């Protein structure tokens, strides 16, 4: 197997590196010491179109692949930004792939362009304090109530939650004891990060301080139901709503 970069991949690496060179070691050292989201770094990548590297062209992206995006992220990390720089953008590069895969055209047109342009940021809430990586056992529940879902639960390690306008949330919509397979009954929700209903706090971690991971708990988060994405397979039964 040939692991050498293609000419196009080399051009991606070189173009991203030219942006990263504007943010030197002194920049990242200051961010590590003082904290705070690297908004100017995020904006530079957005202005150059890199946040949409694996978003289809129809929704403002470049239409490239996950491998190309991974090359971009590696270039960011090895520039001196490390995980501080990579974590500041990786959710917005990779995290909304479920929207690309399962979203209908209207949802993609509404949700993806603001992420590509950098006018909105999103975070991904999956991990929970009592289940860790055993995702099928997560406790956060989303219960249908008329035209809305009511969500209650806790999440941890939510990178960039402190600056995000949107949240991609994984919750259980069918109780574990009512499904034949523990991977069934899990749903993805994409909605506003409503700070009046979501309590969050920063976690003490130095590896990526500018994109400080947070923990959160929902005080009965409510949002409009719009079930439009569903996939049933041998190992999954996931619906996505927004």
Tens of pLDDT, residues 3-50: 899 999 999 999 999 999 999 999 999 988 888 899 999 999 999 999
The predicted pLDDT at position 153 comes to 87
Average pLDDT over residues 61-68: 94
Average pLDDT over residues 127-148: 88
Burial class (CB within 10 angstroms; exposed 0-12, middle 13-18, buried 19+) of 2: exposed
Mark out the alpha helices in 21-103 (DSSP H runs): 25-34, 39-47, 66-76, 82-90, 97-102
Average pLDDT over the chain reads 84
Collect all residues with Cβ–Cβ distance below 8 Å to 186 and sequence separation of at least 6.
Answer: 135, 136, 138, 170, 171, 172, 173, 236, 237, 238
- Give the pLDDT confidence score for residue 48 in this predicted structure: 97
Each residue of 38-58: pLDDT tens digit? 999 999 999 999 999 999 999
Residues of the chain with CATH 2.40.110.10: 122-241
Q: Say which DSSP state 211 is in.
A: G
* β-pair type (214-224, 184-192): unpaired
Q: Report the CATH fold assignment for 7-117.
A: Butyryl-Coa Dehydrogenase, subunit A; domain 1 (1.10.540)
Exposure string over 139-156, b if 16+ CB within 10 A, otherwise e? ebbbeeeeeebebebbbb
Categorize the per-residue pLDDT at 112 as very low, low, confident or very high, splitting at 50, 70 and 90. very high
pLDDT of res. 209: 52
The pLDDT score that the predictor gives to residue 199 is 79
- Residue-wise pLDDT tens digits, 162-216: 899 999 999 999 999 999 999 999 999 999 998 888 877 776 554 445 554 555 5
Q: Give this prediction's pTM.
A: 0.82
Give the pLDDT band of residue 133 (cuts 50, 70, 90).
confident
Rounded mean pLDDT of 51-76? Answer: 96
Q: Is residue 22 packed enough to be buried (19+ CB in 10 Å), middle (13-18) or exposed (0-12)? A: exposed
Where are the domain boundaries for CATH 1.10.540.10 in the chain?
Answer: 7-117
CATH class of the domain defined by 122-241: mainly beta
Give pLDDT, residue 240.
Answer: 45
pLDDT tops 50 at residue 75: yes
The pLDDT score that the predictor gives to residue 110 is 94
């Amino acid at each position: 197997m040939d692991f050498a970069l293609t000419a196009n991949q080399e051009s991606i690496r070189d173009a991203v590196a030219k942006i990263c060179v504007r943010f030197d070691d002194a920049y990242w050292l200051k961010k590590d010491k003082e904290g705070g989201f690297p908004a100017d770094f995020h904006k530079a990548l957005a202005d150059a179109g890199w946040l949409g590297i694996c978003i289809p062209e129809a929704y403002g992206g470049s239409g490239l692949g996950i491998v190309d995006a991974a090359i971009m992220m590696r270039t960011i990390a090895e520039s001196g930004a490390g995980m501080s720089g990579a974590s500041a953008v990786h959710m917005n590069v990779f995290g909304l792939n479920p929207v690309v895969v399962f979203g209908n055209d209207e949802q993609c047109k509404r949700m993806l362009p603001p992420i590509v342009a950098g006018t909105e940021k999103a975070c991904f809430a999956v991990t929970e304090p009592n289940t860790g990586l055993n995702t099928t056992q997560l406790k956060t529940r989303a219960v249908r109530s008329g035209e809305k879902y009511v969500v209650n639960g806790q999440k941890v390690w939510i990178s960039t939650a402190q600056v995000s306008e949107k949240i991609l949330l994984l919750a259980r919509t069918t109780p574990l004891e009512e499904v034949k397979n523990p991977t069934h009954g899990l749903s993805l929700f994409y909605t506003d990060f409503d700070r009046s209903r979501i309590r969050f706090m920063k976690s003490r971690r130095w590896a990526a301080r500018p994109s400080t991971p947070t923990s959160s708990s929902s005080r009965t988060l409510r949002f409009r139901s719009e079930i439009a994405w569903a996939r049933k397979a041998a190992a999954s039964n996931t619906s996505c709503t927004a």
